[in-house]
Structure 1
Amino acid sequence: MILAHAHRVSRRYGTVLALDEVDLDVRAGELVGLLGPNGAGKSTLINLLVGLRRPSSGRVELNGGDPRDPASRRQLGVTPQETGLPGTLRVGEVVDFVSAHYPDPIPRDELLDRFGLGAQVRRQCGGLSGGQKRRLAVALAFVGRPRLVVLDEPTTGLDVEARHALWDAIRAFHADGGTVLLSSHYLEEVEALAQRVVVIGKGRVLADDSVDAIRAVVGVRRVSLTVDAVPALPGVVRTEQVDGRTHLLTADADQLVRDLVASGVAFRNLEVRPTSLEEAFLAITTADAEPAPA
């Protein structure tokens, strides 16, 4: 079953084309990661899917209906990129207010404990840290027991421990059959959580597949080694020096190793592995930014 659907969706803001005939389906039970640089169109696409904006052209559906229809949003949970919380209300009061809009909300104490906010129940929102405010904003997306949760940069401002705790909460929701659309700049976050990755650049879908397939799109592998000086070798896409090790990105790792041995340069601790999602993401978006040959 498709819970969120976009078909040839475009969105203009004046002369700016934010989305250019984008197609996207999010099916029940999926955990989809949405990646793209600033200005790629990720937040615009989310706003269309949840009914906050209308497309300039194309069709958008949520739970089989119009996203602007309250009935279509009844089983939707959303954490936008920026959330304003009333500073004078206590954490428990905010949860109670949002819970009152749903027929069977998660009990307040259970929800706050799940997101590490149980001790803050009587604290005013204005007195929370930035990370605590973000955790509360994410928690509110889950209060109504939604079928689909849309999270736009959910872990912004969180430390490592809080980020991993939030990951666990997202995994638990998904394991219970929930569906998640997750937009993030933290590439390791999408790599850790998502089953499927959609890469957006300049308002278009550049790639839509599994994490492993996204890596394979660029056909690049990483050859890591310890060496005093790297000779000039053919087929090297990029060279990096990190913590005393040299990392060579290449489309043909086998040939690169043969060339390295033939060069006579002494090296040790050789390792060959697939590219990370970050490297694939950069390669895809960089390739998209390059002008087409004349």
Structure 2
Amino acid sequence: MTRTFDAVTALDDVTLTLEEGQLIGMLGPNGAGKSTLLSLVSGLRRPSRGTVRLFGGDPRDAANRILLGTTPQETGLPSTLKVREVVDFVGGHYPAPMATGELMEMFGLTDLASRQTGGLSGGQRRRLAVALAIVGRPRLVLLDEPTTGLDVDARRILWDAVRGYHASGACVVVTSHYLEEIEALAERVVVIDGGRVLADDDLPAILARVGARHVRLTLEHPADVDRLRDLPSVVDLSQQDGRTSVLTADSDAVVRELVRRDVAFSGLEVRGASLEEAFLAMTERESATQGATR
């Protein structure tokens, strides 16, 4: 599918299949096309070219959306209704909704049941909005930046709730700027930038695509850090809390060269790149490629 807005191409010939039982993390910078993609799947917009099918039918048909739950980036709630009343009201639109008490316990909302939504904090409103996305027991859940405004504890409550609901066999799609969130939740990762899918694979494969590794060590002689800067395949070098970290495309060559140069060190660690590093590497490569073809 392709979606354009006047002269802007928000999605450029994207093909994507969302399978039952998957927990999918969707990564991309602002303007990458993530929210546009979710709006097409949920029937809020139609593609300029191509086809979108939701449970085999047109997503603009309400009958096909009965098994869909969504939380957009911004959600309006009736300020004078109490939390329990909002959950009951939304749940009443579905044939077999979750029990209100069960849902509120899942999202840490039990103590807020009698509070008007207008009196909730931003993070509490966000948790309620995500809870409303699953009250109807959907088989596909689209969560667009679900933990925006949440503190660390509230974010983990929501993570646990998402994992718990996903365990029922539903497909859950989460977009996020919190890369550690995708790393904590996702089994499959889709990276989008410039309206195109740059990568679509399981989490370990996405991490492997960056091709870089971290070599961390403690130098017995801090002045030796200057001897590390010209080591083979070094991409970056940094220091923190007495530890030196080398980002390299060839960790084996770096370690061999450290020994050959008789650099005294201890506490050697070698690990793969994080999801954040993989994501940045892929999007930076895409930007460089686009720049070279202009």
Tell me if TM exceeds 0.5.
yes
1: CA distance, partners of 2:240 / 2:45:
44
1:36 to 21, 25, 28: 28
Cα displacement (A) at 1:29: 0.7
Question: What is the 5 A alignment of 1:225-236?
Answer: 225-227=217-219, 228=222, 229-231=225-227, 232-236=230-234
Deviations 1:74-97 (A, max 9, x none): 001101111111111111111111
Contact 2:212/2:248, CA 8 A, preserved across alignment = yes
Cα displacement (A) at 1:146: 0.7
SS state of the match for residue 56, structure 2?
coil
| 2:45 match | 53
Aligned pair 1:158/2:150, yes or no?
yes
Contact 2:232/2:253, CA 8 A, preserved across alignment = no
1: CA distance, partners of 2:96 / 2:293:
58
1:280 to 273, 278, 283: 278
1: CA distance, partners of 2:258 / 2:64:
59
Contact 2:33/2:192, CA 8 A, preserved across alignment = yes
| Aligned sequence identity (%) | 62
| 1:74 match | 66
SS state of the match for residue 53, structure 2?
strand
Q: Decide which structure has greater strand share.
A: 1
| 2:82 match | 90
Cα displacement (A) at 1:209: 0.5
Question: What is the 5 A alignment of 1:140-289?
Answer: 140-227=132-219, 228=222, 229-231=225-227, 232-289=230-287
Cα displacement (A) at 1:284: 0.5
Amino acid at match of 2:292: A
2: CA distance, partners of 1:293 / 1:57:
24
Deviations 1:134-171 (A, max 9, x none): 00000000100111111111111111111111111111
SS state of the match for residue 96, structure 2?
coil
| CA 1:14–1:293: 2 relative to 1, 3 Å | closer
| 1:5 match | none
Amino acid at match of 1:62: L
| 1:115 match | 107
Aligned pair 1:133/2:125, yes or no?
yes
| 1:27 match | 19
1: CA distance, partners of 2:14 / 2:216:
37
Contact 2:218/2:265, CA 8 A, preserved across alignment = yes
1: CA distance, partners of 2:241 / 2:51:
49
Deviations 1:197-219 (A, max 9, x none): 00001110000101110111121
Deviations 1:168-191 (A, max 9, x none): 111111112121011111111111
Amino acid at match of 1:263: R
State how many pairs are aligned: 286
TM-score normalised per structure 2 = 0.94
1: CA distance, partners of 2:51 / 2:88:
35
Cα displacement (A) at 1:293: 7.0
1: CA distance, partners of 2:60 / 2:182:
28
Root-mean-square deviation (CA, aligned residues, Å) is: 1.3
2: CA distance, partners of 1:102 / 1:22:
31
| 1:292 match | 292
Structure 1, unaligned stretches of length 5 or more?
Answer: 1-8
Cα displacement (A) at 1:234: 2.1
2: CA distance, partners of 1:235 / 1:90:
59
2: CA distance, partners of 1:248 / 1:39:
32
